[in-house]
Amino acid sequence: MSAASTGPGSPFDVTLEEMRLHRSAKWSRVKADVLPAWTAEMDVRTAPAIAEALHTAVDRSDFGYAGHPKPVVDAFAGFARDVWDWDPVAGTGSVRVMGDVGVGVQEILRAVTSPGDRVMLNPPVYLSFYPWITGLGLVPDDVPMLDQDRGGRLDLEGIERSLAGGTRVVLLCSPHNPLGMVTPREDLAAVAHLARAHGALVIADEIHAPLVHPGSERQFVPFLAVSDAAREVGIALHSPSKAWNLAGLKLAVGVVADRSRWPAAMTGGLDWGAGILGQYAAVAAYTGGREWLDVVRREIEERAAQLQPLLAEHLPGVRYHRPSASYLAWLDCRELGLGDDPAQAFLERGRVLLSPGPAFGPGGTGFARLNIGTSQELMTEAVRRMASALDR
Ligand SMILES: Cc1ncc(COP(=O)(O)O)c(C=O)c1O
């Protein structure tokens, strides 16, 4: 395998053999000869603080319904204050615990819209946004990202047109999946201003926020921290599930700047949908998982850099702009001649599973999303397999 490997002691120091034992979606929903590089799970050993907390839960056989949300709220608020200089519970701020971000988005949408309403999103964008919206009888209103080949930016004029045309909700992905773009403060402020002027709600999905790369030019700015307008129109959603790789433990939080802004029609017992192990893990992540997270962020940034020469060597036809956040690489494969959905050819001929570009909405045709939240060896193997799809 590659000369410079993921070092021992690294959270990413995992082997293919042990990963194949995992029952998580990424690893169990593929055939035995396929290397999975699709859904957003990382191949990492968990943070020591989280392992310890989960062992405590096991030792206590504490597997009942989710407990009182306060420890999670306090832990999240402490993390947000330290890392982003943002106090989500300042004044009348309110944090609510829920099962996951998907439940939160859909529950908010259900509470504030009627079937046929339009929800704006900025494709290519996280593929599950589409079924969440259409499943409620709502209509996705695409305002594609601009300058994708330079990392991407919001089309503020397009957003204004969409709002003027009656869009009820803006579903922001910040930082952006799959582009790995960290939204600038002024763009967030502009969206807030426009949403307020047109009476729209902004749901800011900030799930990837703890994973901004240490060397990123821009740091993460929480939507609710940008302006009074943002605090009036915004609901932010966070979770430790991406940054600490806890998706299966089921815990997310929603934040509003004033508790009166929770839509009245939202289900009262949302916090019962969280998992109790998610609660143990979230408290440990936000309070004791910072050092581990810093190592992981550094390594992801390295992986994003290592991918460039790797593609140049094995797949020179693929274009890739390094992300500034998270562990997803958005690959422009249009020059490879593999058609609209190159992930299909990579799977069929290379036995490596990427996420299909077209599912990310307009702008996804001819693209595929590679998960680089793994060891250097496994990322290298994924690229080799992709390249082998061209040879056959
Ligand atoms: C932007 C974004 N939002 C939401 C999710 C899903 O989060 P959850 O598992 O909390 O529903 C993901 C998962 O990859 C994501 O990338």
Across 159-167, average pLDDT: 98
Across 242-270, average pLDDT: 95
Across 324-341, average pLDDT: 98
Whether domain 16-44+292-391 has CATH 3.90.1150.10? yes
Q: Is the pLDDT of residue 3 over 50?
A: no
- Which of 1, 205, 37, 217 is CA-nearest to residue 108? 205
C-alpha of residue 177 to centroid of ligand 1, in Å: 9
pTM beyond 0.95: the answer is yes
Q: Is the pLDDT of residue 164 over 50?
A: yes
How many C-beta atoms lie closer than 10 Å to residue 19's C-beta?
Answer: 17
- Per-domain residue ranges for the chain? 16-44+292-391, 54-288
Edge-to-edge strand ranges of the sheet holding 139-142: 94-98, 252-256, 234-238, 201-205, 169-173, 118-121, 139-142
In the structure, what pLDDT confidence band is assigned to residue 293 with cuts at 50, 70 and 90?
very high
- Which of 290, 271, 294, 288 is CA-nearest to residue 73? 271
Mention every residue, 6+ apart, whose C-beta is less than 8 A from residue 4.
376
C-alpha distances (whole Å) from 264 to each of 181, 249, 360, 392 are 33, 28, 31, 57
The token pair that represents 204 in the structure block? 């800011």
Q: CB–CB of 353/344 below 8 Å? A: no
- Helices and strands (DSSP H and E) totals, the chain: 13, 13
C-alpha of residue 102 to centroid of ligand 1, in Å: 6
Distance of CA 307 to the CA centre of its chain: 20
High-pLDDT (> 90) share of the chain, %: 96
Whole-number Å distance between alpha carbons of 273 and 3: 45
Q: Is the pLDDT of residue 337 over 50?
A: yes
In the structure, what pLDDT confidence band is assigned to residue 5 with cuts at 50, 70 and 90?
low
DSSP state of 181: P
| pLDDT tens-digit series, residues 51-89 | 999 999 999 999 999 999 999 999 999 999 999 999 999
Task: Please give all residues whose beta carbon lies within 6 A of any atom in ligand 1, as ranges.
Answer: 40, 100-102, 126, 173, 177, 205, 207, 239, 241, 247, 252
Atom of ligand 1 at shortest range from CA of 239: 10
Q: Is the pLDDT of residue 334 over 80?
A: yes
| pLDDT tens-digit series, residues 182-208 | 999 999 999 999 999 999 999 999 999
Q: Give the total residue count for the chain.
A: 392
At the topology level, CATH places domain 54-288 in Aspartate Aminotransferase; domain 2 (3.40.640)
* pLDDT of res. 9: 86
C-alpha of residue 348 to centroid of ligand 1, in Å: 27
Residue 218: phi and psi, rounded to 5, are -110, 140
| pLDDT tens-digit series, residues 131-148 | 999 999 999 999 999 999
Q: Whose CA is nearest to atom 4 of ligand 1?
A: 101
Q: Is the pLDDT of residue 273 over 70?
A: yes
| pLDDT tens-digit series, residues 87-127 | 999 999 999 999 999 999 999 999 999 999 999 999 999 99
Mention every residue, 6+ apart, whose C-beta is less than 8 A from residue 85.
225
Across 376-392, average pLDDT: 94
The preferred substitution site among 176, 205, 207, 249 for testing ligand 1, maximizing ligand atoms within 8 Å of CB, is 207
The token pair that represents 269 in the structure block? 């017992």
Mention every residue, 6+ apart, whose C-beta is less than 8 A from residue 70.
none
High-pLDDT (> 70) share of the chain, %: 98
Across 364-379, average pLDDT: 98
Atom of ligand 1 at shortest range from CA of 39: 14
* pLDDT of res. 7: 77
Q: Whose CA is nearest to atom 13 of ligand 1?
A: 40
* pLDDT of res. 2: 39
Cα dihedral across residues 355, 359, 360, 363: positive or negative: positive
Q: CB–CB of 156/194 below 8 Å? A: yes
Whole-number Å distance between alpha carbons of 49 and 51: 6
Q: Is the pLDDT of residue 1 over 80?
A: no
Q: Give the mean pLDDT of the chain.
A: 96
Q: Is the pLDDT of residue 392 over 80?
A: no
In the structure, what pLDDT confidence band is assigned to residue 280 with cuts at 50, 70 and 90?
very high
* pLDDT of res. 259: 95
Q: Whose CA is nearest to atom 15 of ligand 1?
A: 126
> Strand pairing partners for 235?
203
In the structure, what pLDDT confidence band is assigned to residue 267 with cuts at 50, 70 and 90?
confident
